[in-house]
Amino acid sequence: MTETSPKLGLPYIQPAQAQKHVTHNEAIRELDTLVQLRIAEFGTETAPGTPALGETHALGPVPGGAWAGQGGKLATWDGEVWQFLTPREGWLAWDIAASRLRSHAGGNWVYPDLNGDQLARLGIATAASDTNRLAVASEAVLFTHVGGDHRLKLNKAAAGDTASLLFQSDWTGHAEMGLADDTAFSLKVSADGDSWTQVMRADPGALRVDVPITGVAVQSSATDITAGRLMRADYGYGPGNILGAVSQSADVPTGAIIERGVNANGDFVRFADGTQICTHAITLNYVNSELLSATWIYPVSFLAGATPRICGALNASTFSAAPGLSEVGGVAFGSIAVASTSVQLRRISGLTNFASGNTAEIRVTAIGRWF
């Protein structure tokens, strides 16, 4: 049997020991000191002149006088002499002067983490760490007001740092909101916790919110007309792209809605549905006594295999032929093709003939398709 207890080092009464009360009283005295341990002063080097019965000091490293050679020990006045105990790791003691609890750790009396209004870390139902100095394991966390407003503040050191809320599933991040590497508020999402996509950004400088809308919320193609979906700028039309060059791919418009142009062969208008209209004022020249004629090459060609429909009318104010207006027949068209046509004006047979140098202006319109 050992002579002292393992934790407090209290003396045991030994078998066949004489004066057992001495050992018993020694253990009681040490228990009286250690149970509800109260320290009058820490780091004391000199014993007080008139100590109170049971007064205990945590000695400094090099005390003198009655405490010489007892550095680091506990000294308790028993009414006659100082009794000394060596503190062990983890012992707790109440600091009477500071009204605070201390613990013995690493050979020193230190304040534990629970230090008034400033904690090194705090774990509630889970372990805190140097990174997560406040850790809470709970089904819910409540932050409530004290009579009015309540504001949760996340502060970062510099603009390039991050102050955000990270939402995880099984410790893998999938959404983050806050000031991420910037002073603009952003919302990011991730499928795997490694690759992140910014889906919203609110810029405090530009006072603008950017939301790149993708997926089923918007058109999937130029022909997607699913109800409720948003129109993409490259698939829709507005003031910036209604007028311009029309184009198509597989009979689906890919350019502007209306295109207008003009050249030496006339004016033309193309529409996104494939309709094309060409107009011109063409001068017919003398061919023979019965005919004035000219070839009209359209300002743009029509779709191959789709001959346009053409009409025309005589501009009477330009008519310089010898026959009177009542002596000419209608405007006729011959050899109508997708790139050109023959425009003709004939006189009524048996009346005054056309003469060399006679001309007439015909205003013509051709309507067909460009695709």
Task: Answer with the one of 110, 129, 159 that is the final residue of a domain.
Answer: 110
What's the domain range around 356?
Answer: 261-369
Structural domain includes residue 325: yes
Q: How many domains does the chain have?
A: 3
Question: Are 102 and 147 contained in the same domain?
Answer: no
Contact status, residue 184 vs residue 201, Cβ threshold 8 Å: yes
Classify residue 278: in a domain, yes or no.
yes
Q: List all residues 6 or more positions away from 118 whose beta carbon is below 8 Å from its beta carbon.
A: none
pLDDT tens, residue by residue, 286-308: 999 999 999 999 999 999 999 99
Judge if 346 and 304 occupy the same domain: yes
pLDDT digits (tens, 9 = 90+) for 331-363: 999 999 999 999 998 888 778 888 898 889 999
Could you give the 3-state DSSP secondary structure of residue 308?
coil
pLDDT band at 236 (very low <50, low <70, confident <90, very high): confident
Percent of the chain with pLDDT over 90: 64
- Split at pLDDT 50, 70, 90, the class of 24 is low
- 125 falls within a domain: no
Half-sphere exposure of 210 (CA within 13 A, CB side): 12
CA distance between the termini of the chain: 110
Whether 277 is in a domain gets the answer yes
The verdict on 101 and 147 lying in the same domain is no
Co-location of 92 and 169 in the same domain: no
Judge whether 283 lies within some domain: yes
In a domain, 92, yes or no: yes
For the chain, the average pLDDT equals: 89
Beta bridge partners of 289: none
Dist CA 316 CA 333 (whole Å): 18
* Residue 154 and residue 65 share a domain: no
